[in-house]
A and B are shown apart, each in its own frame.
Chain A
Amino acid sequence: MSDDTTADAPADTHGDDHGHVAVDITTLDAELIEGPSDATADIAEYALWLGDDSLILAQQLGAWISRAPELEEDVALGNVALDLIGHARSLLHYAGTASNKTEDDLAYWRTEPEFRSLHIVEQPNGDFAHTIARQFIVSHYLFELYSRLRASADATLAAIAAKAVKEVDYHRDHSNQWVLRLAHGTDESRRRMITALSDLWPYVEEIFRDDPLIDRLEGVAVRPSSLRPAFDAAIAPVLAEAELEIPRGFVASGGGRTGNHSEHLAFLLAEMQVLTRAHPGASW
């Protein structure tokens, strides 16, 4: 039967393959599996920071698939989620080399305080404007992060960043477009966009906060505070065109990097881990 299909199907001819993930491609890139060496404990911790951000955000975006405002967005948000889950798998796999754990051991068998995600990615999907505001903030941050992490002294992190930066560049563009559409669309969409940006902005500061871990990883990790000027410069023209102002108000105290999470994470993990934890030792 699949022979029939192959015979009838010509070579794929569509031009832009971004986000087109054939479901038979399920293994990690070879260079990421056969990394030059195992991660040290500090590098593993840093890989968890970044891997958990991607994993939690992918988990949230995955929930949009089949619920998006239009089919094109089911596809687009699905693409973003798939890219992020790919980054998460590479990073968690690498983090696991320090403790002889698999990506799934780390994703499914850690408890909430063991996660290292930022509060911004833990914020719920909300309405479409909240999802877009969260994407706008996070994709711009990730783009600046991975742009610099390409020069990491750690070859595996550099390789992951080199692949990821091209993908988050699309995510950045996708969110920029939607910020403009919602801000200049209807009165309702503008009101919702302003509310969403104001609801998400309190979680921006935590993204750029430094930590003693970063001091120990000079040349390997990217110092979060060093990304703030580039982030501000990148979002400014979009916000200006959208005629949106940076909200002034609350600043959330954060704490995700040390395992102090938002109230949302426990629910998200309960759902994500439920089946795996019901069958310890099972293979899927």
Chain B
Amino acid sequence: MTSTITPATSAISVEEQQFNDLIEADSRIEPRDWMPEGYRKSLVRQISQHAHSEIIGMQPESNWITRAPSLKRKAILMAKVQDEAGHGLYLYSAAQTLGATRDDMTDALIAGKARYSSIFNYPTPSWADMGSIGWLVDGAAICNQVPLCRASYGPYGRAMVRICKEESFHQRQGFEILLELMAGNEEQRQMAQDSVNRWYWPALMMFGPPDDDSPNSAQSMAWKIKRHSNDELRQRFVNMLVPQAAVLGVTLPDPDLHFNEETQQWDLGEIDWTEFHEVLAGRGPNNAQRLQRRRDAHEDGQWVREAAAAYARKQSALTTTLEMAAS
């Protein structure tokens, strides 16, 4: 847009001053407002990554739709995975208001060039994983996302309001699955504990690298896209989990976890960031499978999308012809 007219002097343009004033006043930036190119790029990156995460995130759970152990659980799981498709749609739409196209974003995802949350590269070998994903993964996502409802970019903040509302149901249903399993037989309790053991650390890694190793955080916080640091959010999450784990009767797999009287917080043991970087680098358990499945769905559906587009063109041509005949 007009970002090329940045003056050569140290004085900033009128538009940039207006943008800075809006950020300062905690107002929303809207699609037609001027914005620095870096702000736009940063948002497109963050929003499209979030959308991709919703879409790839459907896979570990849809894995259990056909095998859900009761009709009630089947209905809930279908509704949840379907919500995730809806979240992907709102988020792609929000990114589109910044000039990104859905085709480009989809192509980048399928080509393996776009990032999505690494957590979805872990497998779901047991039903209890539907509980852990809700309780831990959606729980972590909520901690990350609630502050985003106040993100400075209007369409993103508004999409997040709707998403967070649904995520809180998702988290609750995950907790309920684990609660039911923990009240069940020995095999069910074992299934739940084993699943929590597998998902706990990856869920903590969802908040991103430690603050002193997070390249994009400072600028995002200055622009009020992001409101809290990775470590602050992670700490908040663990403080919330500890009493919930006690209610469930599951053990959080961190022998060093202890309450710090001085800070009144739960201090956690050291996170193995090697694993995080391995999964991020494409060496996680399911990276290849997740991408292949998305590509297959996209390619298998190509002829359907082409048919819908061709039909829409024909209908629109027909309408034009009819209108011309009538006039």
Residues of A within 8 A of B (CB): 1-2, 4-6, 8-10, 12, 21-24, 26, 55, 58-59, 62-63, 65-75, 78-79, 81-82, 85-86, 88-89, 92, 103-104, 107-108, 127-128, 180-182, 184-186, 188-189, 192, 271-272, 274-276, 279, 281-284
Contacts and interface: CB of A to CB of B under 8 A. Distances in A.
Given A66-B293, A89-B71, A186-B310, 18 more contacts: A5-B168, A8-B149, A24-B173, A26-B75, A62-B66, A65-B65, A67-B297, A89-B75, A108-B70, A185-B308, A188-B307, A192-B303, A275-B67, A279-B69, A279-B187, A282-B185, A283-B180, A284-B184
B149 A62 contact: no
Nearest to B297: A67
Nearest to A77: B82
Contacts, number: 202
Contacts of A66: 58-59, 62, 81, 85, 293, 297
B65 A63 contact: yes
B301 interface: yes
B172 A24 contact: yes
Contacts of A62: 65-66, 74, 78
Interface string B178-206: 00110111011000000000000000000
Contacts of B78: 62, 65, 78, 81-82, 85
B149 to A, nearest CB: 4
A66 B294 CA distance: 8
A280 to B, nearest CB: 10
Q: What DSSP secondary structure best describes chain B's contact surface?
A: helix
Contacts of A279: 69, 185, 187-188
B306 interface: yes
List the 6 shortest-distance A-B pairs measured between CB atoms, nearest first: A69-B301, A185-B307, A189-B307, A78-B82, A69-B304, A9-B165
B314 interface: yes
Given A63-B66, A85-B71, A22 B79 contact: yes
Contact of A23 (B70, B76, B88, B183): B76
B173 A181 contact: no
Nearest to B171: A2
A67 B161 CA distance: 27
Interface of B: 55, 58-59, 62, 65-76, 78-83, 85-86, 88-89, 92, 127, 139, 142-143, 146, 149-150, 161-162, 164-173, 177, 180-181, 183-185, 187-188, 240, 293, 296-297, 300-311, 314
Contact of B67 (A104, A181, A184, A272): A272
A2 B180 CA distance: 20
Contact of A68 (B83, B142, B173, B301): B301
B61 to A, nearest CB: 8
A284 B65 contact: no
A59 B66 contact: yes
Contact of B55 (A71, A107, A127): A71
Contact of A65 (B81, B88, B164, B300): B81
22 contacts: A4-B146, A21-B82, A22-B79, A62-B78, A66-B85, A67-B296, A68-B297, A69-B300, A71-B85, A73-B304, A75-B89, A85-B74, A85-B75, A86-B75, A89-B75, A180-B311, A184-B310, A186-B306, A188-B306, A271-B67, A283-B180, A284-B69
Nearest to B160: A8
Contact of B81 (A78, A184, A188): A78
A274 to B, nearest CB: 6
B80 to A, nearest CB: 5
Nearest to A107: B71
Contacts of A73: 301, 304
Nearest to B315: A184
Contacts of B139: 1
B161 A10 contact: yes
A108 B71 CA distance: 9
Contacts of A63: 65-66
B242 to A, nearest CB: 13
A22 B181 CA distance: 22
A49 to B, nearest CB: 17
Contacts of A185: 306-311
B82 A75 contact: yes
Contacts of B184: 282-284
A72 B188 contact: no
Contacts of B309: 185
B128 to A, nearest CB: 11
A12 B180 CA distance: 29
Nearest to B74: A85
Contact of A275 (B59, B76, B127, B161): B127
B184 to A, nearest CB: 5
Contacts of B314: 184
Contacts of B88: 71
Contacts of B181: 284
Contacts of B81: 65-66, 78
A193 to B, nearest CB: 9
A189 B180 contact: no
B124 to A, nearest CB: 12
A72 B301 CA distance: 12
Contacts of B171: 1-2
